[in-house]
Amino acid sequence: MMHKATAAHVGIIMDGNGRWAQQRGLARAQGHTEGLKAAKRIVKAAADLGVQFLTLYVFSTENWKRAADEVGPIMALLKQHLRAELDFYRENNLRIRHAGDAGGLPPDIQSELAGAIEDTKGFSGMQVVLAINYGGRNEIARAVRRLFAAEAAQRAAQGGGGGFSEGDIARFLDNPDVPDPDLIIRSAGEFRTSNFMLWQSAYSEYYVSQKFWPDWDRADLEAALESFSGRARPFGGARAG
């Protein structure tokens, strides 16, 4: 009897907010407001569909290149919603986590983020990893820095110390207990990672949707999960059958 593979960890590169707004003659910031509504729809759908970990690419280390009249409203949305969505988190039993360089965020966003993480640490349902000021290369660089610091401390304490393994680096990534993503979805038709989970995506399946992110709904997530469930994943081994 065949069981359909389910994606335990889904990552989403939520792209196309700007184009969605521009098509309607609206400011790009309006696209981000609609994008937030889509994110809430998809978080709820993912939890209902049994996804255990959902990583949302919210703001990249490169997105600071954008104009102040776009970055400002994005930060304002984060400030307004990150912690204030506690009822939504509670209703859906969501545990909020963060990936990225928190120290590079404005202090008010840092404190809202820390508050959301603290408020939801006891919720036992789906874990939602918010990638904010996140870059895959930045994460690996920070991991290696932490690894060197830990190694130096150990060498000072006991002498010796050897080379670093893949596992050593993985242990110092932002959320080492979170399994690698099974499926990475990108909306708005672009076929690139844009620096999302470079280390963890070594064997992730990709799914690209043409729809702009603000137009996403439950059926789009279901279609992505359905596509995933039919794929063979040999992980470098010989394909069965």
User: Interface residues with Mg ion (CB under 5 A)?
Assistant: 15
Q: Does 220 bind ligand IPE (CB under 6 A)?
A: no
The helix or strand, by DSSP H or E, that contains position 127, with its residue range, turns out to be strand 127-134
Question: Which residue, 31 or 112, is less far from Mg ion as judged by CB?
Answer: 31
| Gap between the Cα atoms of 71 and 78, Å rounded | 11
| Interacting residue with ligand IPE among 57, 89, 172, 228 (CB under 6 A) | 57
Among the listed residues 16, 42, 12, 44, the one whose alpha carbon sits nearest the alpha carbon of residue 31: 16
First to last CA, the chain: 15
Q: Does 58 bind ligand IPE (CB under 6 A)?
A: yes
Among the listed residues 51, 138, 38, the one whose alpha carbon sits nearest the alpha carbon of residue 95: 51
Q: Does 181 bind ligand IPE (CB under 6 A)?
A: no
Q: Does 135 bind ligand IPE (CB under 6 A)?
A: no
Q: Does 18 bind ligand IPE (CB under 6 A)?
A: yes
| Gap between the Cα atoms of 115 and 145, Å rounded | 26
By CB under 6 A, the residues from 142 to 161 that bind ligand IPE are none
3-class secondary-structure state, position 84: coil
Residue 58: which of Mg ion, ligand IPE, none does it interact with, CB under 5 to 8 A by kind? ligand IPE
Q: Does 63 bind ligand IPE (CB under 6 A)?
A: yes
Cα 145 off chain centre by = 22
Give exposure, 166-187, as e/b (b: 16+ Cβ within 10 Å). eeebeebbbeeebebbbbbbbb
> Is 93 known to be catalytic?
no
Q: Does 91 bind ligand IPE (CB under 6 A)?
A: no
Q: Does 33 bind ligand IPE (CB under 6 A)?
A: no
Question: Which residue, 59 or 216, is less far from ligand IPE as judged by CB?
Answer: 59
Residue 136: which of ligand IPE, Mg ion, none does it interact with, CB under 5 to 8 A by kind? none
Q: List the helix and strand counts (H, then E) for the chain.
A: 8, 6
In DSSP terms, 98 is beta-bridged to 130
Residue 19: which of ligand IPE, Mg ion, none does it interact with, CB under 5 to 8 A by kind? ligand IPE
Q: Label residue 189 left, alpha or beta by phi (over 0 means left) and psi (-120 to 50 means alpha).
A: left
Nearest distance from C-beta of residue 35 to ligand IPE, angstroms: 6
Nearest distance from C-beta of residue 153 to ligand IPE, angstroms: 34
| Interacting residue with ligand IPE among 24, 121, 145, 192 (CB under 6 A) | 192
> Is 15 known to be catalytic?
yes
Cα 54 off chain centre by = 7
What amino acid positions are annotated as catalytic residues? Answer: 15, 63
**Applying CB under 6 A, which residues contact ligand IPE?**
13-19, 57-60, 63, 74, 188, 190, 192, 194
